[in-house]
Chains A and B, each alone.
Chain A
């Protein structure tokens, strides 16, 4: 069974630029999560989708972050414009049930 796919794996941008991340969850997983993980901290949930609907986006900085999951499968997370404090690993996960989430390899973002 293929795992969660993410791209790109690494991205370096300058502050105020825009960036987008892509995630393809495990086939059949209705729930998709985007997390931000700053070095030395636990993952922080940014947004949770159930199929193509948003379940929770309470911690998504909506002035600069946006996410969509068209057709309830792939998802993209965008940051526009980026700030220095956005430097982190962005993890995508999918699940059938909340208690067991499968994570992709993540995208390491560096904002200069």
Chain B
């Protein structure tokens, strides 16, 4: 089977940097995605890592270490609108696409 772990909650202040970790267990792994979901809204795609290393997209960056079955989402220059739930999701050959339990980020003024 597959499993993903994320911290349930993270709190930070505006302008700060926060890192949301994700560890996974699966066979046939081919990629790790990150999605943002505001309360009452639909998940929206943030980033995707298939290879080891850091991918940067504006204020958001995502990192993957395939050997450690670990990734993280880095959010810089936090804004109030970044308060949301963040999900990592794993794609694996021969297995269904799986989302993690989500990390609820609260950004304080």
Q: Which residues of A come within 8 Å of B, CB atoms? A: 33, 35, 40-45, 48, 56, 58-59, 91, 93, 98-106
Contact of B87 with A45 in the complex, beta carbons under 8 Å: no
Task: Tell me if B102 counts as interface (CB < 8 A to partner A).
Answer: yes
Task: Tell me if B71 counts as interface (CB < 8 A to partner A).
Answer: no
Give the dominant DSSP class at A's interface. loop
Task: Tell me which residues across on chain A come within 8 A of B33, comparing CB atoms.
Answer: 99-101
Q: Which residues of B come within 8 Å of A, CB atoms? A: 31, 33, 41-45, 48, 50, 87, 89, 91, 96-102
Cα separation A41 to B100 with both chains bound (whole Å): 8
Contact of A45 with B43 in the complex, beta carbons under 8 Å: no
Contact of A48 among B31, B43, B97, B101 (CB under 8 A): B97
Of the A-B pairs whose beta carbons lie under 8 Å apart in the complex, a sample of 12, sorted by A's number, is: A35-B99, A42-B87, A45-B96, A45-B98, A48-B97, A56-B96, A58-B96, A91-B42, A99-B91, A101-B33, A101-B97, A102-B45
A-B contact count (CB 8 A): 50
Nearest B residue to A59 by beta-carbon distance? B96
Cα separation A84 to B13 with both chains bound (whole Å): 39
Nearest B residue to A4 by beta-carbon distance? B42
